[in-house]
Amino acid sequence: MKYDFLVETTVAGILASIACGCGAFPLLIKRLNIQKNMGLGYGFAGGLMFSASVYNLILPGLTLGQNDYTSFEQVTLVLIGILLGAAFLWAVNVSLTPERLENSFLNKIGNRTEILIFVAMSFHSIPEGVAVGVGYASGTHIAGAENLGNYIALAIAIHNIPEGLAISIPLRSKGASIMYCFFMAFLTSLPQPIAAVPASILVWLFKPLMLPFLGFAAGAMIFLIIMELIPEALEDKSPVEIAWAFVIGFCLMLLVQVIL
């Protein structure tokens, strides 16, 4: 069907949100030192996302439209998208500083730490949803890349698990049930399917936008890896351990591309 990719985009976005909720379930294992090993999870997820950014977003962007653009124009459009994606995530990070949130109405809703985590993770889900949407729309145009959306959705879904865990740990430590932790983690990731569908439609209808959109999604994910995932991982693991987790995640994503 002509519009099947919209259904796939929606389902993939919802499944990625559910994966975020599943990050609460490891807390059921009493003897598992979750906080000690969470750094490896972030490093591993960073490798997955970086691989998806390079091989599923940037490289297709540099090969797409070879008959319509010169090589310089292709690179320029992709680079503009990368810079815009990074700038978008940077702007989100600036807008979510503790100082600004402390004086806002959000501080009156509940525990300040819980609100910061919830709002930050929710906003970070938007570029991830855009990445999923762009992936499925791109797969309709790029020969041999029909599973492009699947690669990106899988990487983001796995990346969402440690994010869900990060959301659940402070909630669980204050006596929240596992199902409540699951629900709150799921809610923070809900912007993914919401952002994925319009991004997918926009790129599918306006093919010239695909190059900067691919770059935008890649830039947002790469910026997220460097700005948040790696620093978080280094808080409780050595650089060598994080490097190995990152490389293993990177290699696994390459293998997944062949299997899917």
pLDDT digits (tens, 9 = 90+) for 190-211: 888 887 777 777 766 666 777 8
Angle among Cα 123, 127, 128 to the nearest 5 degrees reads 100
DSSP-assigned letter for residue 227: I
- Three-state secondary-structure class, residue 65: coil
What percent of the chain clears pLDDT 90, i.e. is strictly above it?
10
The whole-angstrom separation of Cα 246 and Cα 39 is 11
What kind and span of H or E run contains 213?
Answer: helix 210-224
Q: Which amino acid is at 38?
A: M
Q: Which residues of the chain have pLDDT under 70?
A: 1-5, 31-36, 65, 96-124, 127, 137-147, 170, 173-174, 203-207, 257-260
Can you give the pLDDT at residue 156?
80
Can you give the pLDDT at residue 41?
76
Can you give the pLDDT at residue 257?
67
The whole-angstrom separation of Cα 38 and Cα 248 is 15
**Which structure tokens are listed for 42?**
């972030």
Can you give the pLDDT at residue 248?
92
The backbone torsions φ and ψ at residue 90, rounded to the nearest 5 degrees and listed phi first, read -65, -45
Can you give the pLDDT at residue 216?
86
The whole-angstrom separation of Cα 176 and Cα 170 is 9
Can you give the pLDDT at residue 79?
95
pTM value > 0.85: no
The whole-angstrom separation of Cα 78 and Cα 215 is 5
